Copies of this chain bind each other. A is one copy, B any other.
C-alpha cells in the first residue's frame, strides 16, 4: 500500500493535514479551519473532521503552520539563570499564562556575564518568536538594534528604565535599596554593611541603599561583593570575612547587614549562628526577594517582597495583548511600563 515516492524528496511517513482531509472527505483548508478557526465551520463538519483526526492520530505541524501564517506561537524568554528560584517562579508564571493562551516558551539562558547575549538572540530570532521576554536591560547597542529591527513585541522585566525597548514590567531597585536603609535606620541600627552579588540589579539596589544611608548619616558602609548568583555558601563566606575584617580596620562591627538576596542572607544567618552570636541582638540581617523560605528560617528573615509570579503573569499579559492584537501595530502598541513595586517585610531578623 505504500505510495511510490513521486520524485526526489522521500515521503515523511507521518500523517499530514491532507491525509485527514481525505479521510474526512473535505478539503485540507477545512481541516485547518476546524483546528484554528472552528467558528467558521458547521458543527457537523467539525464532528466529521475531529473524528478523522482522532482516527489518524494526526499531530499538526507548527513549523509548517508558522511558516505559512507567520505566527510561531512561540515566546522566547531570556534569563541569566533559573537555578535560583528568583527567576524560576517568574518563568513558571509566564509559562503558565502563555500556555493557557496557546503559546509555548523557548528558554534562553544568557549566563550571568551576559556574554552570549548576542548569539543567543540571533538563535532565538531565527525561530521567529511572536514575542520576547528579556530579564534586565539589554546593553549591547547591536542587540538592541536587532531587536528593534525584528519588530517583535518585547517585554523587559525585573528592572526599570524610562526607556525600555518596548514594554516593561519591573520595579525600581534603587528605591528598594533605599527603603531597606530607611527601614534599618528606623529600627535604630546605625552601622550598616552590605553583601551583594555581582549583578546589575544588585548594584542598583546597592546604590539606592548607600545613598539613602548617607542621607540618614550612615557612611563608610562596607560592601562585600560576591559572584552572581548569590548563594547561601557565598553569603556565609562573605559574612565570615566581614566579621573578621571589621576590627582590624578600626571599624566597629556592623549592627545590620543588607544582603542582595535571601539566599545570601540565609548564609549570614548560618554564619552568625555558628559563632554563637545573637540575632538580631548582635547583628541584624535583611534579605531581598522574600523567597518562600524567608518567613520560616530561624529567626525569620526580614526582607523585601517582590511579587515574582506577578512579573511573569503581567509580562505574559502584555505580550498577549500585542500578539493577539494581530500585527505589531495593535491598539496597545507603544511600550507600556508597569511598576509592580515592592514591599519591605519586617520579621525577626531585624
Contact = CB atoms under 8 A, between A and B. Distances in A.
Contacts of A62: 126-128
A104 B123 contact: yes
Contacts of A126: 59-62
Main secondary structure of the interface of A (DSSP, over half): helix
A106 B128 CA distance: 14
Contacts of A66: 63
Contact of A92 (B81, B122, B128, B263): B81
A75 to B, nearest CB: 11
A251 interface: no
Interface string A55-76: 0010111111011001010100
Contacts of A125: 59
B233 A296 contact: yes
Given A231-B292, A296-B267, A128 B85 contact: no
Contacts of A226: none
Given A64-B67, A298-B270, A231 B106 contact: no
Given A62-B126, A128-B63, A104 B108 contact: yes
A322 interface: no
A83 interface: yes
Contacts of A109: 92, 95-96, 99
- Smallest CB-CB A-B distances: 4 pairs: A232-B293, A270-B298, A233-B296, A274-B298
Interface of A: 12, 57, 59-64, 66-67, 70, 72, 74, 81-85, 88-89, 91-92, 95-96, 99, 104-109, 120, 122-128, 146, 149-150, 231-233, 236, 263, 266-267, 269-271, 273-274, 292-293, 295-298
